[in-house]
Chains A and B, each alone.
Chain A
Amino acid sequence: MNVAPLARRPLGCLKASLRQARQQKMFTRHIATEAAQTTTTTTTTPQPPLEHSFFRLNDRKTKTLRTAFAVYPNTTVAGKTVAPAPVNVVQSLHEVQIAKMDPTGARTALFAKTREAAKPGDVLMVTHRRGGEPFAGVCLSIRRRGIDTAVLLRNHLSKIGVEMWFKVYNKNVAGIEIVKRRPKRARRARLTYMRQPKHDFGSVDDLVFAWKRSRRVFTSGKPTAAAAAAAAKGAKGAVAAKKK
């Protein structure tokens, strides 16, 4: 290599001659250190074991082995075992979020599919966190969607039918209380027929007023004590009445 440039090297050039001398010097140094290098044992890092199976590709006519490829296990990533992605992640995400938004489990229990839980046809009262008048009404339907579970309440405000959806796990919903249970279980999941004039429940204000008065009779009137008493009674089913 580099024969041609050396051949054309101008004579009497001090720099090039020195360079050549330097090269020779390096070469001699290399020879000097050669023996020392052979004595040192090079430590190679242990290679990770390769565990693989073979995938056979057979010849179509003769049915004999044409070729084969190594196939590595799909649970191994760079020599480490990894688990496949879990299924039903949306459900898991719901559970994680519900645990965060409802640590006591009161909201979940209120709309669980149990005998004690609220059902369509019951009169419910929802207290809003940002203040304002609590909204009460007949529960027309319960929409169960994990963290997005919601209830539809219907009432009459100044003789006009009003319906409102409330997200059960939302932080803006401070509490939901059962004002009056329906005497007999409704035979529909969605009581949309109650929008018809024939079946309309009308205003629930009287029921709410009576319920509030009865609560006041049983307790000394303190809101926290009232809530505690109501929760203890159970039959009334007042839950999640925690206010910050």
Chain B
Amino acid sequence: MAPRLPAHCWRQLLVRPTSSSPTTPSTLTRATLPSTTATSAATLPYTQSRTVKSGWSTLPTRFKPHRFNQTTSGLPVPTAGPAASLKRKERTTPVRAGVLATKKGMTVYMGRTGARIACTVLQLDRVQTVLNKTKAKHGYWAVQVGMGERLAGNVTAPMLGYYEAKGIAPKEVLAEFRVRNEKGLLPVGVQLLPDWFHVGQRVDVRSNSRGMGFAGGMKRHGFAGQEASHGNSRNHRTIGTTGPSQGSGARVLPGKKMPGRMGNQRVTIQNLPVLLTDNELGIVVVKGCVAGPKGAVIKIQDACKKDPPSDAHIDKTKKLLEERFPEAEAYLQAARERHLELKEARREKRIEELMTEQADAIEHVIAATAREDATTAAA
């Protein structure tokens, strides 16, 4: 059935100038309007042919106008779909982005009043914001953060281009932190230091647990095993039966606990208090233990089941970012322009010229300084 649109809409569609047609992406196929308006070639397509190149998005797909999907239809707001999902998760999504860290080991924290608290030391190594993800473009709000360093030879060419466009050295790890809304987005390229968190606040700590390999039922699920004696033969650590016999199904129920790969899973420890932060050492000390071996990559973010840090603290940390990196925006812009220049050069096979140009410039500078040194020495 034809969409229930007001008459003037149809009229407007008919008189739309045809000059807009070249701007439509080539991946979109032209759809024809039903019945009377089939002659109009200027309308936007209703359907989209999906290919490998069309990518992935959580944005709502282009839908056909229908009497049920009009805003005037009077139907309730859908409770499923990307928008509803974001709305549902809004309350448990942290306000701020988190940081990446490396687990350095466990030790104790001695309190002034004699308390002795087991704690884990997490170190932040040049943690930088890399990308902001927005609802309009990506379907959700998030900040991509990178940590550490990686040799350029161990980075793929697409990622080299990605870092080049941001003026950032290749990172060892990249990770995304979901934030509640656009207020949680950060300037790109700035460094996050341990004072991003304050002492006493609660954080959620995520990491991969230590991998145990293929483990038996006793180790993996705490099964009791079997007797050591009383005629038992070579079945001391086996799991025994996996289900009832004929008459009650005679099958293994789905989800039956069995031997298999153990560990190396994402583990979240919620609501760990922060005991200490130190910018010079670059460490955040949290109470208790964190999954994974030493050297494991850890994600730290404000606890989602507690109140977010106070507005004063959030403002303070944002202001600190601006104070520490006042030229971040200009630097990013310059890097982008340089990237476009290099990209064009790569396309036109001129990149070698640019490389020699730069090398010449460097040589020139070195020669100039050497000359200056010589003149000063002579004087």
Contact = CB atoms under 8 A, between A and B. Distances in A.
- Do A and B interact with each other, yes or no? yes
Interface of A: 3-4, 7-8, 45, 47-48, 50, 52, 54-57, 65, 67-80, 82, 84-86, 89-90, 92-94, 96-97, 100-101, 129, 145-148, 167, 169-172
B169 interface: yes
A93 to B, nearest CB: 6
A72 B170 CA distance: 8
Contact of A77 (B121, B128, B161, B283): B128
A148 B189 contact: no
B325 A93 contact: no
Contacts of A65: 351-352
B205 to A, nearest CB: 17
Interface string B83-111: 00000000000000000000011011111
B170 to A, nearest CB: 7
Contacts of B114: 129, 170-172
A171 B108 CA distance: 13
B145 to A, nearest CB: 13
Nearest to A70: B164
Interface string B115-147: 010000101111010000000000000000000
A243 to B, nearest CB: 14
B11 to A, nearest CB: 8
Contact of B116 (A85, A96, A167): A167
22 contacts: A4-B16, A4-B17, A47-B330, A50-B334, A50-B335, A69-B342, A70-B339, A74-B126, A77-B189, A77-B190, A77-B191, A78-B190, A78-B191, A78-B327, A78-B332, A84-B125, A85-B126, A85-B282, A86-B280, A92-B281, A93-B283, A94-B107
Contact of A97 (B109, B113, B331): B109
Given A93-B281, A129-B114, A55 B160 contact: yes
A94 to B, nearest CB: 7
Given A78-B167, A78-B332, 20 more contacts: A47-B331, A48-B334, A50-B331, A52-B164, A67-B157, A72-B163, A72-B164, A72-B169, A74-B149, A74-B170, A76-B169, A78-B190, A78-B325, A80-B325, A85-B123, A89-B283, A90-B105, A93-B281, A145-B107, A171-B111
Q: Is the interface of B mostly helix, strand, loop or mixed?
A: mixed
A69 B191 contact: no
B325 to A, nearest CB: 4
Contacts of B105: 90
B331 A69 contact: no
A86 B110 contact: no
B126 A77 contact: yes
B349 to A, nearest CB: 9
A191 B355 CA distance: 69
Contacts of B377: none
A67 B110 contact: no
B285 interface: yes
Nearest to A128: B114
B268 to A, nearest CB: 24
Contact of A71 (B15, B164, B339, B346): B164
B358 interface: yes
Contacts of B128: 77
B161 A69 contact: yes
Interface string B259-286: 0000000000000000010101111010
B169 A85 contact: no
A148 B107 contact: yes
B272 to A, nearest CB: 17
A13 B373 CA distance: 80
B281 A50 contact: no
A92 B330 CA distance: 36
A79 B331 contact: yes
5 shortest interchain CB distances as A-B pairs: A74-B169, A85-B125, A69-B160, A172-B114, A78-B328
Contacts of A129: 114
B12 interface: yes
Nearest to A46: B330
A238 B12 CA distance: 98
A8 B121 CA distance: 71
A75 B116 CA distance: 37
B254 to A, nearest CB: 45
B186 to A, nearest CB: 12
Interface string B344-360: 00100001100100100
Contacts of B346: 67-68
A50 B152 contact: no
A120 to B, nearest CB: 22
Interface in B138-195: 149, 152-153, 157, 160-161, 163-164, 167-170, 189-191
Given A70-B339, A170-B110, A171-B113, A54 B282 contact: no
A146 B110 CA distance: 11
A100 B163 CA distance: 42
A97 B110 contact: yes
A58 to B, nearest CB: 11
Contacts of A77: 126, 128, 189-191, 325
B123 A89 contact: yes
B116 A170 contact: yes
Nearest to B147: A85
Contact of A90 (B104, B112, B282): B104
